[in-house]
């Protein structure tokens, strides 16, 4: 962890809001559908669930086990089966009761762009992976460098802070904690954390809404690189860090076609534009390796990793989804058709004409339509060949025959 400024944040009440009334209404539908008396549900919620939830939050039970014991307390048939169905039901209704607090995504992105190491620490019955999947559904998982739950750490905040200091080696680092609960904010102070409270006066700094947090980090003189508190800051950096900061831009480039990988997608993009996007830069000076951003200039270095993209890998293995069969076209026409294809393809010449093997069905359809627009007297016929059956579905290969007919001439007799 090169960044010495670490931001630990609570989750519920800071970035997301749990609408408990909506949750009760939605889950009551599940109970009624399965013939469970709602008065019995209320009694178990009141008398049994708080104990189970506590056991889940401190890691004595997994979330699945909490729900299984909950249904056992309801004295239903097949509690394990119903618990499994209930957990699946919860996933489906997730976005109906869990909502992002206004500006959550925007602020998390700003903090991430500052280069601050961002840790999510939630008192939760979920495992770290289960919580990460929930945050993925809400679109904010990517902003956290690490996600921890009390279930995983076996203790709740503020005790969890002690475990985290040891786990992440935070002893010599500046740590900011963002929360809204009194006990957590006071506990964070005891461990030497700088605290930011959402509408809570027990914190070192108080904010009324999330939008104030990035401004506060700048205004309160935290160098986001080394954590030093100083009056002499420029673009969030102290003098020393401003002179030495160099951001590393890692690019994965296909060694065959030159496409650049962004997430799981391979894109046709120049290296310059890829670097600009990574650094949020307006302009790039490659001679000095300096990127100009709205916050000033950033030195950068580029690390390039070579891979073979999925299209080139498939192409090398002989994979294809469509065959474009050209018939009665001149060699000049064929060269013009080749220029329309912007992806890898291979050709085979036979006694009937030229066959073009393409890796994507939509591309073959698109090229056939273009040929029809360019050349006159073109006839298109389609046929399909069953290749395999995958997951119970038939997979077909398309054959598109594009035949050019000679133009009819009027003969004067």
pLDDT score of 3 more than 60:
no
- Dihedral sign, CA of 146, 149, 152, 155? positive
pLDDT score of 243 more than 60:
no
CA distances from 172 to 4, 150, 253, 338 (A): 8, 23, 37, 62
In this prediction, residue 408 has a pLDDT band, given cuts at 50, 70 and 90, of low
In this prediction, residue 102 has a pLDDT band, given cuts at 50, 70 and 90, of very high
In this prediction, residue 108 has a pLDDT band, given cuts at 50, 70 and 90, of very high
Rounded Cα distance, 66 and 53, in Å: 7
For a pLDDT cut of 90, what percent of the chain falls above it?
51
> Which residue in this structure is represented by tokens 């169905």?
85
Rounded Cα distance, 56 and 54, in Å: 5
Rounded Cα distance, 310 and 322, in Å: 17
pLDDT score of 313 more than 70:
yes
Q: Are the beta carbons of 149 and 131 closer than 8 angstroms? A: yes
Which comes out higher in pLDDT, residue 247 or 189? Answer: 189
pLDDT score of 343 more than 70:
yes
CATH assignment of 5-15+99-233? 3.40.50.1000
Mean of pLDDT values over 48-61: 96
pLDDT score of 170 more than 80:
yes
Q: What is residue 188's predicted lDDT score, i.e. its pLDDT? A: 92
Mean of pLDDT values over 219-226: 60
Architecture of domain 320-404: 2-Layer Sandwich (3.30)
Mean of pLDDT values over 77-81: 92
Q: What are the CB-based long-range contacts (under 8 Å, 24+) for 311-314?
A: 311/257, 311/259, 311/266, 311/343, 311/344, 311/359, 312/254, 312/256, 312/257, 312/344, 314/359
Among 152-166, 228-242, 272-286, 294-308, the range scoring the smallest mean pLDDT is 228-242
Structure tokens at 180: 């809204």
**Residue 325: strand pairing partners:** 355, 401
Q: What is residue 32's predicted lDDT score, i.e. its pLDDT? A: 95
Among 7-16, 55-64, 163-172, 283-292, the range scoring the smallest mean pLDDT is 283-292
CA distances from 102 to 84, 124, 196, 409 (A): 33, 22, 18, 71
Rounded Cα distance, 226 and 18, in Å: 35
Closest-CA residue to 48 (of 26, 21, 68): 68
pLDDT score of 103 more than 50:
yes
Top-confidence range, 123-132, 169-178, 394-403: 123-132
Q: What is residue 413's predicted lDDT score, i.e. its pLDDT? A: 43
Q: What is residue 216's predicted lDDT score, i.e. its pLDDT? A: 79
Residues in the chain: 413
């Amino acid at each position: 962890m090169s960044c010495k400024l670490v931001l630990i944040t609570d989750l519920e009440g800071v970035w997301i809001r749990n609408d408990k009334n909506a949750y009760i209404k939605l889950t009551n539908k599940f109970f009624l559908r399965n013939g469970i008396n709602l008065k019995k549900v209320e009694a178990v919620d009141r008398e049994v669930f708080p104990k189970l939830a506590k056991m889940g939050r401190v890691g004595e039970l997994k979330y699945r086990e909490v729900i299984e014991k909950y249904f056992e307390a309801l004295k239903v048939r097949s509690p394990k089966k119903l618990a499994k169905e209930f957990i699946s039901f919860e996933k489906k209704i997730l976005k109906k009761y869990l909502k992002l607090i206004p500006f959550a995504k925007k602020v998390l992105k700003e903090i991430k762009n500052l280069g601050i190491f961002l840790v999510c620490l939630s008192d939760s019955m979920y495992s770290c992976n289960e919580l990460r999947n929930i945050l993925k559904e809400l679109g904010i998982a990517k902003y956290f460098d690490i996600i921890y739950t009390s279930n995983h750490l076996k203790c709740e905040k503020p005790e969890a802070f002690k475990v985290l200091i040891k786990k992440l080696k935070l002893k010599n680092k500046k740590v900011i904690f963002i929360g809204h609960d009194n006990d957590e904010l006071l506990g964070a102070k005891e461990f030497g954390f700088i605290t930011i409270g959402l509408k809570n006066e027990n914190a070192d700094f108080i904010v009324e809404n999330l939008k104030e947090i990035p401004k506060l980090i700048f205004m309160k003189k935290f160098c986001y690189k080394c954590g030093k508190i100083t009056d002499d800051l420029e673009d969030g950096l102290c003098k020393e860090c401003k002179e030495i900061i160099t951001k590393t831009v890692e690019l994965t480039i296909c060694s065959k076609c030159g496409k650049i990988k962004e997430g799981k997608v391979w894109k046709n993009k120049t290296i310059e534009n890829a670097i600009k996007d990574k650094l949020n830069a307006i302009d790039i000076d490659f001679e000095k390796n300096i990127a100009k951003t709205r916050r000033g200039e950033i030195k950068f270095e580029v690390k390039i990793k070579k891979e073979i993209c999925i299209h080139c890998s498939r192409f090398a293995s002989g994979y294809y989804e469509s065959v474009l069969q050209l018939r009665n076209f001149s060699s000049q026409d064929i060269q013009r058709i080749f220029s329309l294809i912007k992806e890898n393809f291979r050709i085979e010449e036979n006694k009937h004409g030229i066959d073009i093997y393409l890796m994507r069905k939509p591309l073959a359809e698109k090229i056939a339509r273009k040929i029809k627009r360019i050349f006159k007297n073109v006839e298109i016929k389609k046929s399909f060949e069953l290749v395999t059956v995958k997951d119970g579905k038939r997979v077909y290969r398309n054959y598109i025959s594009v035949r050019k007919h000679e133009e009819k001439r009027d003969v004067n007799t």
